[in-house]
Amino acid sequence: LPLPAPRRIKALAQDVVNKIAAGEIIVAPVHALKELIENAVDAGSTTLEVLVKDGGLKLLQITDNGHGIDKEDLPILCERFTTSKLKAFEDLTSIGTYGFRGEALASISHIAHLKVTTRTKGSSCAWVAHFADGKLASPKPGQSAEPKPIAGRQGTMITVEDLFYNVPSRRRAFRSGSEEYAKILDLVGRYAVHCVGVSFSCKKAGENSGSSMTVPASASVKDRIRQIHGSTAANELVPLSAEDDRWGFKCDGWVSNANYSAKRTQMLLFINHRSVESPAIKKSVEQTYATFLPKGGHPFFYLSLEIEPQRVDVNVHPTKREVHFLNEDEIISVICDELRNSLSKVDTSRSFMTQS
Ligand code: ADP
Ligand code: MG
């Protein structure tokens, strides 16, 4: 076969690059929401309200009472790699906030209609600004793109409309809004369990009850689990703590005891206050439970792992879904030993009670 002639290599146009990057970071509405929740928590918010239309594809709005954004920063707010959180690459090793790349709002502005309303403590009014493709944009043809003053309380409201409007293949891939809404509720529920001291609400626009969720700021972790996952799980929880200086970690959480058994494992996992997946932790915990639960039974567990930041790499996954850390096997085995202890304690007290 004749070799094809090489094609010339050309640089992609900047807007194509930005759209591709955005599509990697925001795969579904829930990924946009995760970034927005983390921004609100980073801003010190104690109230967080989420409003959703059509699974977040039509509307995703999050209102917080955090420190707000200075009016002077609005022009660069949605540019790629603008952030108030990270300065040097080395800071990645000690990062205490959820955000660090300054890419979330930029990405959203490339694939949705984005509006930001914000007010800082020192400001006498709120400011509203619209964004498109990383820049301030005019809300309607002929209007100025400059931020406009309006009345509003301290904090920030981010409104994301028509997500993926300019990525038709992605937009078409979503079968139903209810499937996306279920993912959104699941995510808000996770942060609502973990972020004690913060009130959460999540609802569909135009609906008052039904598939909504609320947690007051004063609720304890256990109350939060009860509210979101029901009493069946909450009544059978025992606390779990483990730590080991050698591996630079500490772990706290609530785990179901041997009386509780569900069809599927429910794992709420936070590593350094970030909701993450970890197939390795899930598998080991399930194996530990296997000897205590009836065949086919699965646990509920919420674990908050704090690992010395310099042992963690948060920058391995575009959606930050997974993180890597040193001595993973050792850390998991310390946690599972502790879990086994606590499960067998409950076990013996039960058999003791039935004997007497
Ligand atoms: P990152 O979180 O990685 O810094 P983002 O694009 O998510 O990047 O946000 C850019 C910047 O906008 C943040 O560093 C922060 O200063 C500001 N910001 C975003 N959301 C909020 C919010 N809800 N309240 C206050 N400031 C915010
Ligand atoms: Mg962020």
Read off the pLDDT of residues 203-257 as tens digits, 9 standing for 90 and up. Answer: 999 876 667 899 999 999 999 999 999 999 999 999 999 999 999 999 999 999 9
Q: Assess whether pLDDT exceeds 70 at residue 89.
A: no
Rounded distance between C-alpha atoms, residue 322 and residue 272, angstroms: 12
Give, for 79, the enclosing helix (H) or strand (E). none
Residue 120: both structure tokens together: 């800082």
- The percent of residues in the chain predicted with pLDDT above 90, rounded, is 72
* Sequential DSSP letters for 44-59: T-SEEEEEEEGGGTSE
pLDDT at 351: 47
* Distance in angstroms (rounded) separating the CA atoms of residues 340 and 73: 51
- Domain residue ranges of the chain, discontinuous segments joined by +: 14-215, 229-355
Q: Which amino acid type is present at position 10?
A: K
pTM (2 d.p.): 0.90
Q: Ligand 1: does its nearest atom lie under 6 Å from the Cβ of 79?
A: no
Mean pLDDT of 269-289: 94
In ligand 1, the atom with minimum distance to the C-alpha of 98 is 2
Determine the pLDDT at residue 323.
80
Residue 194 DSSP SS3: helix
- Quick check: CB of 237 below 6 Å from ligand 1? no
Q: Which ligand has the nearest atom to the CA of 107?
A: 1
CATH: 3.60.21.10, 3.30.200.100, 2.60.120.330, 3.30.230.10. Which one for 229-355? 3.30.230.10
In angstroms, what is the span from residue 38 Cα to ligand 1's centroid? 9
| Closest ligand 1 atom number to CA of residue 62 | 23
∠ Cα 72 116 58 (to 5°): 160
Is the shortest distance between the CB of 85 and ligand 1 below 6 Å?
A: yes
Which ipTM did the prediction report? 0.98
State yes or no: pLDDT of 354 exceeds 80.
Answer: no
* pLDDT surpassing 90 at residue 316: no
Distances (CA, A) of 98 to 102, 134, 154, 275, 342: 11, 21, 21, 10, 32
Looking at the CA of residue 105, tell me the nearest atom of ligand 1.
Answer: 6
Report the interhelical angle of 104-111 vs 29-42 (nearest 10°). 140
Residue 33 predicted with pLDDT over 80: yes
User: Mean pLDDT, the chain, as a whole number?
Assistant: 90
350 pLDDT higher than 90: no
Mutation choice for ligand 1 from 105, 109, 156, 273, CB with most ligand atoms inside 8 A: 105
Which CATH number fits the domain 14-215, given the four candidates 3.30.565.10, 3.40.50.300, 3.40.50.920, 1.10.260.40?
A: 3.30.565.10
Q: Smallest Cα–Cα separation from 193: which of 280, 281, 270?
A: 270
332: pLDDT strictly greater than 70: yes
- pLDDT at 147 > cutoff 50: yes
